[in-house]
Amino acid sequence: KFERTKPHVNVGTIGHVDHGKTTLTAAICTVLAKVYGGKARDFASIDNAPEERERGITINTSHVEYDTPNRHYAHVDCPGHADYVKNMITGAAQMDGGILVVAATDGPMPQTREHILLGRQVGIPYIIVFMNKCDMVDDEELLELVEMEVRELLSEYDFPGDDLPVIQGSALGALNGEAQWEAKIVELAEALDTNSRARACSRHGIPDANRRRILNPRSWYSSNWPYRARHPESG
């Protein structure tokens, strides 16, 4: 239940296609509902458009809500596929903070970089990294390498890559009720609370240029985005 006594924070999942953003969104809803109370949302109810179910990717931004003891979160699940970057811009413009999802099996990929750049351009104040699919990687050195690459990439775009939280987990494992991975979702929620509290999750004084980008993402995309999305295929 939405308690108006709690600070309200807008967050969202960003990252490369098929790295597990929607699965993580469902896992957060499910685990936090179990731990703190609230309504769980499964994967199907988040990716609920027929074309999304058919293609197995997120096309439109989806919205869910959940609570921690200290905050009420409105969460937008953004598409990662390059064809739908305009939808991604609309979703990112609403965020007070972002959860960057990177599959440990792949490491940073093209949309990982693009979404970090987008986050910087529209003024997302902070990013927390969730390294997903860690249950599929047995090599600790590989996990360390992926984490290092992500931190370096974030630093490249002026986020505090050396200092920001990186949680290694498995969204699917958490969604399936595996205790060790559920604990990682709680750790992620605690990191969100800590970072939102430190920054008060306020977007005071957004520059006029960024405000225009937020209000008119199509215009900003056309003139500023360094990548060009292909026209979505019909059917």
Is the confidence at residue 48, as pLDDT, over 90? no
Asked whether residue 205 carries a pLDDT value surpassing 50, the answer given is: no
| Residue 144 neighbours by CB under 8 Å, 6+ apart | none
CB-based contact 144:166 (threshold 8 Å): no
Tokens of 137: 């990687």
- To the nearest 10°, report the CA torsion of 205, 209, 213, 219: 160
User: Is 109 a domain residue?
Assistant: yes
Sorting pLDDT into bands at 50, 70 and 90, what band is 62? Answer: low
Residue 14 contacts residue 98 (beta carbons within 8 Å)? yes
Give the pLDDT of residue 3.
Answer: 52
**Enzyme catalytic residues:** 18, 21-22, 81
The answer to whether residue 32 sits within a structural domain is yes
The contacts of residue 4 (CB under 8 Å, 6+ apart) are none
Q: How far is CA 66 from CA 14, 38, 73, 100, 111, in A?
A: 18, 7, 5, 18, 26
Rounded distance between C-alpha atoms, residue 222 and residue 108, angstroms: 25
Q: What is the DSSP string of 186-208?
A: HHHHHHHHHHHHHHTT--TT--H
- 2 lies in some domain: no
Across the range 203-230, mean pLDDT stands at 42
Judge contact between 59 and 207, C-beta under 8 A. no
DSSP 26-39: HHHHHHHHHHH-S-
User: Residue 128 in contact with residue 191, Cβ under 8 Å?
Assistant: yes
Q: If you average pLDDT over each of 80-94, 117-131, 137-151, 219-233, which comes out highest? A: 137-151
Distances (CA, A) of 92 to 69, 120, 146, 172: 25, 10, 24, 24
**Residue 3 domain flag:** no
pTM of the model: 0.76
What's 80's DSSP letter?
Answer: -
Alpha-helical (H) ranges within the chain are 21-36, 43-46, 50-55, 85-92, 110-122, 140-156, 171-175, 179-199, 208-215, 217-224
Tell me how far apart the alpha carbons of residues 74 and 51 are, in angstroms, rounded to a whole number. 24
Does any domain span residue 230?
no
Query: CATH no. for residue 65?
Result: 3.40.50.300
Does a structural domain hold residue 229?
Answer: no
Is 233 inside a domain boundary?
no
pLDDT above 70: percentage of residues in the chain: 64
Length of the chain: 235
pLDDT band at 89 (very low <50, low <70, confident <90, very high): low
pLDDT tens digit sequence for 156-177: 999 999 999 999 999 999 999 9
**Residue 136: which domain range?**
8-224
Number of domains in the chain: 1
Q: What is the pLDDT of residues 100-119, one digit of tens each?
A: 999 999 999 988 998 898 88
Residue 232 domain-assigned (yes or no): no
